[in-house]
Structure 1
Amino acid sequence: MTEANNEKRNGDEQDPAGTQPADSDAAASGEAPAAGSGAEGDALAQAEEILNSAEVPAEPAAAGSPEAVELRNDLLRLQAEYVNYRKRVERDRDVAREMAVIGVLNSLMPVLDDIDAARQHGDLVEGPFASIANKLENSLKAYGLGRIDEVGVEFDPNIHEALIQQQSPDVQSDTVTQILRVGYKSNDRVLRAAQVIVSVPEQ
């Protein structure tokens, strides 16, 4: 009995309340410490203090005030930038489309030259190949392809490439008298100049 009383008295001296520390109970029960304790509680308190000390936004500026004028100018500037951006995107899209069409037309020029050569030799007068050639040329015309093959017109270095010049008393200026190779253009863009023979006035 004496030893038991001594052990009980020693235990009471170590834990006067007769219980384990709160942290030990929480750890033993597997529960986390209550929110708002320790460093976390300090952080929450600081955040709440900052929120409480923040100024409430003022009411919208009255019309005609410097703030309203500045805001209106900002909106107008943003609107103008957006309109310019849309125009630039549309212009770039049109240029990309045009360049793609030109690339296809350039790749088909050797085929068109073969069609012209076959037609000059009488191989495309009639028959299925003549029909196919006509359909191909008409389809390319829908994409703006045009031929430069006129004779009797004034020589234009922008669309003609003179391979031969010969004097003639029948012309008053440099004139295209024969097409050696057909030229092509896409709308107003010259894809290939026509190779021609030019008659020049006699000196």
Structure 2
Amino acid sequence: MKPNDTEHQNAAPQADSTSEAADTAVDPVVTLEAERNELKDKFLRLMADMENLRRRTEREVADARAYAVANFARDMLNVADNVRRGIENVPEEARESAEGAFKALLEGIDLTERDLQKTLERHGVKKLDPLGQKFDPHVHQAMFEVPNADVPSGTVVQVVQSGYVIGDRVLRPALVGVAKGGPKTNGGEPQGADNASSAT
């Protein structure tokens, strides 16, 4: 073997190892771009999480403001009911012929009821007046059915106890009597008829 042949053999492995090293060496720009993209993705996800948290917190604060008085208002409904019962239990003849202290007492009770209703409304509590409306199981509770062919079946014809809502939530459903036997509404039996039947 000639000395030149040995040099060529030694040079060939060195060239191969140099090309392998060049292949395995990573460009620092590519590495930095990959890290930047990863950090950008994490940042965007974090921003989205923070925005969702902000919206959820705003919604919870708004609900807390709107419904904070719900339990107190629910307790006050019994007071409103008792005041109304007191007014309704005075016969009309006695009311018309009332004089002196008794007349002042009746006027005071009327004034108290009006003021109580205004106070409840100021805090977002509204009284439901379902008489003559179609039965709605979301805000009404059927207590009995009333045979009445003059009004559409499923119409509220009697209110046993007033209902109240606070915001868009039912504080207390109205206890009602529902008409039965009248003309059908919406081409069939109204939604409340089954509920009214089950209540009897």
Which category describes the TM-score, using the shorter chain as reference length?
0.5 to 0.7
For residue 142 of structure 1, what is the amino acid of its counterpart? R
Q: Which residue, 133, 154, 158 being the options, matches 1:178?
A: 158
C-alpha distance in structure 2 between counterparts of 1:96 and 1:182, whole Å: 25
C-alpha distance in structure 2 between counterparts of 1:135 and 1:71, whole Å: 61
Q: Percent identity?
A: 33
C-alpha distance in structure 1 between counterparts of 2:111 and 2:85, whole Å: 16
Quote the residue 1:187 is aligned against: 167
For residue 194 of structure 1, what is the amino acid of its counterpart? A
Quote the residue 1:166 is aligned against: 146
Quote the residue 1:102 is aligned against: 70
1:134 aligns with 2:75: no
Quote the residue 2:86 is aligned against: 118
TM-superposed deviation, 1:202: 5.6
For residue 134 of structure 2, what is the amino acid of its counterpart? E
The alpha-carbon distance between structure 1 residues 118 and 82, as it changes in their structure 2 partners (threshold 3 A), is same
1:154 aligns with 2:146: no
- Give the unaligned 5+ runs of structure 1: 1-60
For residue 51 of structure 2, what is the amino acid of its counterpart? V
- Give the unaligned 5+ runs of structure 2: 1-28, 96-104, 184-200
C-alpha distance in structure 1 between counterparts of 2:142 and 2:53, whole Å: 45
Instruction: Please list, as runs of the form range in 1=range in 2, the aligned pairs for 1:1-203 lying within 5 A after superposition.
Output: 65-122=33-90, 126-127=107-108, 129-201=109-181
TM-superposed deviation, 1:164: 2.4
Structure 2 length as normaliser, TM-score? 0.60
- C-alpha RMSD of matched pairs (Å): 2.7
C-alpha distance in structure 2 between counterparts of 1:180 and 1:137, whole Å: 18
C-alpha distance in structure 2 between counterparts of 1:145 and 1:153, whole Å: 20
C-alpha distance in structure 1 between counterparts of 2:58 and 2:171, whole Å: 24
SS in 1 for 2:138: coil
The alpha-carbon distance between structure 1 residues 151 and 102, as it changes in their structure 2 partners (threshold 3 A), is same
SS in 1 for 2:165: strand
Structure 1 length as normaliser, TM-score? 0.59
Which digits, 9 at most, give the CA deviation of each residue in 1:70-112, with x for residues without a partner? 2322222222222122222222223333442211211111111
C-alpha distance in structure 1 between counterparts of 2:76 and 2:176, whole Å: 21
The alpha-carbon distance between structure 1 residues 169 and 78, as it changes in their structure 2 partners (threshold 3 A), is closer
The alpha-carbon distance between structure 1 residues 172 and 82, as it changes in their structure 2 partners (threshold 3 A), is closer
Which of the pair has the greater relative contact order for Cα pairs under 8 Å at 6+ separation?
A: 2
Aligned length: 141
For residue 125 of structure 2, what is the amino acid of its counterpart? L
For residue 78 of structure 1, what is the amino acid of its counterpart? L
